[in-house]
Structure 1
Amino acid sequence: MPRSLTTGSPWRVILTFSVPLLIGNVVQQLYQFADAVVVGRHLGVDALAAVGATGSLLFLLLGFVWGMTSGFAIPTAQAYGAGDAAAVRRSVATGTILTAIASVVLMTVGPLLAGPALALMRTPDALMADATVFAQVSLLGAPTMLLFNYLAALIRAIGDSRTPLVFLILSCGLNIGLVILIVGFLNGGVGGAAVATVVSQAVSVALCLVYVRRRIQPLHPRRADWKVTRADCVAHLRLGLPMGFQASIIAIGTLSVQVALNGLGAASVAAYTTASRVDSLAVALLQSIGLASSMFVAQNFGGGRPDRIRRGVVQATWMSVAVAVVLGGTLIVFGPALIRLFVGDGSGDVVALAAQMLVVNGAMYWVLGPLFVLRGSLQGLGDAVIPTVTGVIELVMRVGAAVVLGSVFGYIGVVWSNPLAWVGAVVILVAAYLAADRRLARMPSAPGIVTPTTPIALVGPTDGSMTVETVVTAPVPLPKPARRARRVGSRSR
């Protein structure tokens, strides 16, 4: 059910909100584990490598729209924190229309690009046929994945992170059952694994729609709300496009790593793919804290509580470091055993190479945790520029390391591309957030307790008008100090 993130101890609120996200990400990664285990055991290491060879391409094509649709939910969270019900409805309608358009475009164009793109990536001939089929089926079903991502983001934007978890668990359970049935018993091949994912996502979309219709009145757009204006679209795209671009930049770096791996042979591709499955579970846990921080900051920024934002971000950063240390140690110790779940005991070279990646990444998670928290917090403040810049830095460092270190040291050089990219990005994020924190310190806090039913007028640096409408129709970045005097004098109570 809807819940305000503008009251209560910040670290408790963030932790409570993030726990369902943590569980959801674990469940999601577990069903991806199940996919990989079924594919690897029933279809062989080459089939598993073929699925892995599509990862960076799908991340590039799907990641942009995933990032964009997640950005569409931030204005909704800001409007909900400000208590403006009309603006929440308009935001929902605008984001839904834009998500639907993006889904249709991706479903139409994506399958046509899959084969040529995989060829440009120098995908090994032995993997090409299965990789193409898996990518095409996944892209044809992209609308179900994107719509679920957007609907789940909307529900979280109003403070409910538990309900998307329930739907995700049901979807993952269905996906595991379908993969076992289609791949294990019906011999559906890697295309069958992709079909199972699409069908399970479609079921989760239906569950989200039914739940929103019956239980969450604030997310029900009225007929007039569907008449979105150019300003509405621009405001949502202003956050959505940079977030999508940021995801694409990271995906391009991942694609470059994939190209470097393809030149090292099938064993390296299989090892990196398998290690990535294990690694992604730990990374997803850290991402959850970052997402919780983003929603926390967005609601409190909309509710005029810079004091809570400052405390919450510091506390979330320390939580992410603690979690990162535990996760890193766990993967370093138990990584080889987890790898054998995918490929068995007969692929010793794959296990050894994959374990190397888990050791390198696990030792550097303490950098990745704060990266997610600071990036999410800046996005919650409406700042899409710095997160995009850090994405560019990650791209440059990841590609440079993959090409240069890969040519000198081989597989282990490619593996180091990810941690080096994290270091480059977090340096910029720390500096950017410290600057934002100084501006937050100079902002006045709304008196009393802010709830979603208490509208608060905030300044939006557009035409000088001081209304709640400005906040939610145009998610604004943190005001510059020069605007402080006008902001204080114009705040309505």
Structure 2
Amino acid sequence: MSRTSTMDMTQGSIRKELILFAIPLLAGNVFQQLYNTIDSIIVGQVVGPDGLGAVTSVAPAINTLVGFFMGFSAGSSVVISHYFGAKNTEGLRRAVHTSIICTFILGLVLMVVGFFLTPPLLVFMSTPETVMPLATQYLQIYFLGIVGLMMYNIGSAILRAVGDSVRPLIFLIITSILNIFLDLFFVINLHMGVAGAAYATIISQFISAILTIAVLFTSKECYNLRLKEFAIDKSILSQIITIGMPAGIQSAVISFSNLFVQSYINRFGESSTAGWGAYGRIDAFVMLPMQSIALTATTFVGQNAGAGNVDRIKKGIREALFLAAICTIALVIPEFLAAPKIVSMFNSDPEVVRYGTLFIRMNCFFDILCCSNQTHAGVLRGVGDAKAPMFIMLSSFVVFRQIYLFIASHLTSSIYPISIAYPMGWLVCSIIMLIYFKMSNWELKVDASYRNHAMN
């Protein structure tokens, strides 16, 4: 296996490997966030608050449907990393081909479902009437190109599972730059508004998918694609579903619950909707380092679980938590201080800036709580325990958060308690996740994984 395109994380300096793997993964996530952020900035400045609200308010709807697939992608990544760590080439190849063909089928289904569910989803979110037509237009076009996004994500998940986080980054850089030029051309030159932003995004996503899949076909590594091997292996699919289904349900339901949060925010008017959207885009960048480290921890733990390295996993957990906390603290301080200027990049309307600044400053320091729940969830998935993170996050981000919102909205008409619904859920999740992790006996799952993937 070429050391230039894969990373064996079962040996060597733990901190060095985590950083080397996480940096291109982080950079890739940053560029992926740029797709929607550039859309928001250009539309917000050219079209105005209604356009900004349309582009940003649809994020929970997109994440609800896409989130389910992302669980499948995470399941594929864990299964592939286990086979890679166990040096089981035959199992690795079956997992790769099963993942690709299932993703394509799911992409087609999601395209149709997303397109036709767009109107009722936006009505359910209490989307302001002034925003509704533009939001519908943007979201339906976005779903027409969802296959490109999904194929890129599964291709990059396969590459990350074997330690290659560099090439997905390169492709994202190329297509993110392309997306900026297409945004400027469609929105400003052709005056296509939010539709132009949506077309720019899906064209760029299709190109990133083509580049990623092309690498898998032309690679000389053991994970390369061959047309004659395309088939769905039932035993592999069962493993992927066992790990990925809980993560997918968790992501989809949590995103669906965010529709409720968005609906509460929308009740305060279009300026509040636009300000919340700007906050969401900004804070998403702050969350990226910890999320990238959590994904890195999943791959690290997955490979070492396949190799049976319990002590190395324990050291990796401590390093991942430390790196996530340091990165997050370094970002939330300037986010708090520069909040008004950052929000004004999206739209300079005083009310939009006021709301956006309020949301940032009420929430940003609570981001540190997520370092614990995200990292421990990533570790548990890496050892094959995906159900526990699912139930913990669902109970915290969905059940508790909705109870909190219901009570807060009936006790007061102020937006302040509504604006901290996210951190309240993060706090509860971090506490429960840590308690479970300490009591889970995850070491036994590592031993079982080692025996299973070394023999099958």
Alpha carbons of structure 1 residues 91 and 188: separation in structure 2 relative to 1, 3 Å: same
Q: CA deviation at 1:458?
A: 2.9
Alpha carbons of structure 1 residues 442 and 272: separation in structure 2 relative to 1, 3 Å: closer
In structure 2, the residue matched to 1:485 is none
Which of 5, 9, 31 is the aligned partner of 1:27? 31
AA partner of residue 440 (structure 1): E
Give the Cα–Cα distance (whole angstroms) in 2 for the partners of residues 343 and 175 of structure 1. 20
In structure 1, the residue matched to 2:127 is 123
**Are residues 1:145 and 2:149 paired?**
yes
Q: CA deviation at 1:128?
A: 0.9
Tell me, what secondary structure is at the counterpart of 1:289?
A: helix
1:43-442 equivalences under 5 Å are: 43-222=47-226, 225-344=229-348, 347-393=349-395, 394-407=397-410, 408-436=412-440, 438-440=441-443
Alpha carbons of structure 1 residues 168 and 435: separation in structure 2 relative to 1, 3 Å: same
Give the Cα–Cα distance (whole angstroms) in 2 for the partners of residues 421 and 38 of structure 1. 32
Give the Cα–Cα distance (whole angstroms) in 1 for the partners of residues 149 and 444 of structure 2. 40
Tell me, what secondary structure is at the counterpart of 2:338?
A: helix
* Cα pair 1:80 1:158 within 8 Å, conserved: yes
Q: CA deviation at 1:457?
A: 8.8
1:407-486 equivalences under 5 Å are: 407=410, 408-436=412-440, 438-440=441-443, 458-460=450-452, 468-470=454-456
Q: CA deviation at 1:224?
A: 6.6
Alpha carbons of structure 1 residues 409 and 16: separation in structure 2 relative to 1, 3 Å: farther
Greater gyration radius: 1
Give the Cα–Cα distance (whole angstroms) in 2 for the partners of residues 292 and 28 of structure 1. 17
Q: CA deviation at 1:214?
A: 2.4
Q: CA deviation at 1:222?
A: 4.9
Alpha carbons of structure 1 residues 172 and 223: separation in structure 2 relative to 1, 3 Å: closer
CA RMSD of aligned residues (A): 1.9
Alpha carbons of structure 1 residues 5 and 132: separation in structure 2 relative to 1, 3 Å: same
In structure 2, the residue matched to 1:41 is 45
AA partner of residue 371 (structure 1): N
Give the Cα–Cα distance (whole angstroms) in 1 for the partners of residues 39 and 352 of structure 2. 18
* Cα pair 1:264 1:410 within 8 Å, conserved: no
Q: CA deviation at 1:235?
A: 1.5
Give the Cα–Cα distance (whole angstroms) in 2 for the partners of residues 439 and 75 of structure 1. 17
Q: CA deviation at 1:212?
A: 2.0
Identity of aligned residues (%): 29
* Cα pair 2:31 2:176 within 8 Å, conserved: yes
Give the Cα–Cα distance (whole angstroms) in 2 for the partners of residues 332 and 148 of structure 1. 33
Deviations 1:160-210 (A, max 9, x none): 111111111111101111011001110112111111111001111111122
In structure 2, the residue matched to 1:452 is none
Give the Cα–Cα distance (whole angstroms) in 2 for the partners of residues 98 and 90 of structure 1. 12
* Cα pair 2:142 2:199 within 8 Å, conserved: yes
Give the Cα–Cα distance (whole angstroms) in 2 for the partners of residues 352 and 53 of structure 1. 17
Report how many aligned residue pairs link the two structures.
450
* Cα pair 1:367 1:422 within 8 Å, conserved: yes
Give TM-score scaled by structure 1 length: 0.87
* Cα pair 1:243 1:388 within 8 Å, conserved: yes
Q: CA deviation at 1:125?
A: 1.1
Q: CA deviation at 1:287?
A: 0.7
AA partner of residue 401 (structure 1): Y
* Cα pair 1:332 1:358 within 8 Å, conserved: yes
Deviations 1:379-414 (A, max 9, x none): 111011111112212112222233332442532222
Q: Which of structure 1's runs of 4+ aligned residues deviate more than 6 A?
A: 441-444
**Are residues 1:16 and 2:8 paired?**
no
* Cα pair 1:290 1:373 within 8 Å, conserved: yes
Q: CA deviation at 1:258?
A: 0.9
Structure 2: any 5+ residue segments left out of the alignment?
none
Give the Cα–Cα distance (whole angstroms) in 2 for the partners of residues 421 and 218 of structure 1. 42
* Cα pair 1:82 1:457 within 8 Å, conserved: no
Q: CA deviation at 1:301?
A: 0.5
Q: CA deviation at 1:227?
A: 3.7
* Cα pair 2:343 2:357 within 8 Å, conserved: yes
In structure 2, the residue matched to 1:491 is none
Q: CA deviation at 1:51?
A: 1.4
Q: CA deviation at 1:442?
A: 11
